[in-house]
């Protein structure tokens, strides 16, 4: 589902804070938080006339600055970010959720190939990469919220956190076990960038 372009520049968020973004009719979504929409009325803000603007139109977009990156996305739009303030976060792409010998998850597997392309791209652009995964220590098993237990009990042949999985996958979501590793080529992708990428156990 694509979201239509706005008909005129729109700022979203609190204009008095630093938490905002600006969207333009040409499809640019400026997440760099470098200029509020009203700031662009000042003469010292460099702008570029938007492609397709009517003659005499005041519709402009800020010129791309050093340290900013324009990323084409779906829906014929472009997202602009500040590379020093931006992180790319990959969540739960580990064997426990994706490996075919544990479960059938074709929608999750469909993300593997795109990630193999976009992670190196962001490395090249000096945007930080964060891999967020589940992984408990034995001392944490007694502190897991009870509300999580029903979703991890016996649906796929195991009996909750720390129980034994089939084959060589080890114990369910325990740090260091094969099922907590990133899926297939993603594990190698992380190892290739281990000096600059981050792996975070995002346990509740």
pLDDT of 143-178, one tens digit each? 888 887 766 765 556 678 888 998 999 999 999 999
What is the model's pLDDT at position 181? Answer: 97
CA distances (Å), origin 47, targets 13, 157, 158: 22, 59, 59
Mean pLDDT, residues 28-54 taken together: 65
Structural domains of the chain, ranges and CATH numbers in brackets? 10-83 (no CATH), 88-201 (3.40.50.850)
Higher pLDDT, 186 or 63: 186
pLDDT value, residue 56? 38
pTM: 0.80
Instruction: Round the average pLDDT of the chain to a whole number and report it.
Output: 86
How long, in residues, is the chain? 204
Predicted confidence (pLDDT) at residue 134 exceeds the cutoff of 60: yes
Q: What does the pLDDT average to over 77-94?
A: 96
* pLDDT of 203 over the 50 cut: yes
Q: What is the pLDDT of residue 62?
A: 85
Residue pair 133/187 in contact by the 8 Å Cβ criterion: no
Only one residue has tokens 């995002």, namely 202
Which residues, 6 or more positions from 172, have their beta carbon under 8 angstroms from its beta carbon?
Answer: 96, 152, 158, 160, 161, 162, 163, 164, 165, 179
CA distance 69 to 32: 9
């Amino acid at each position: 589902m694509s979201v239509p372009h706005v008909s005129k520049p729109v700022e979203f968020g609190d204009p008095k804070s630093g938490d905002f973004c600006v969207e333009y009719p040409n499809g640019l979504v400026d997440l760099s938080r470098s200029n509020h929409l009203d700031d662009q009325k000042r003469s010292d803000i460099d702008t570029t006339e938007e492609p397709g603007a009517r003659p005499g139109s005041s519709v402009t977009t800020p010129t791309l600055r050093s340290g900013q990156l324009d990323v084409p996305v779906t829906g014929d739009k472009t997202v602009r970010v500040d590379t020093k303030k931006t992180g790319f976060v990959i969540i739960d792409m580990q064997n426990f959720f994706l490996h075919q010998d544990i479960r059938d998850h074709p929608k999750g597997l469909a993300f593997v190939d795109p990630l193999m392309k976009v992670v190196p791209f962001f490395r090249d652009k000096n945007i930080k990469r964060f891999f967020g995964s589940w992984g408990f220590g034995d001392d944490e098993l007694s502190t897991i919220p009870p509300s999580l237990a029903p979703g991890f009990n016996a649906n796929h042949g195991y009996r909750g956190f720390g129980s034994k999985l089939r084959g060589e996958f080890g114990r369910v979501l325990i740090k260091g076990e094969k099922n907590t590793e990133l899926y297939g080529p993603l594990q190698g992708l992380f190892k290739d960038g281990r000096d600059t990428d981050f792996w975070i156990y995002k346990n509740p």
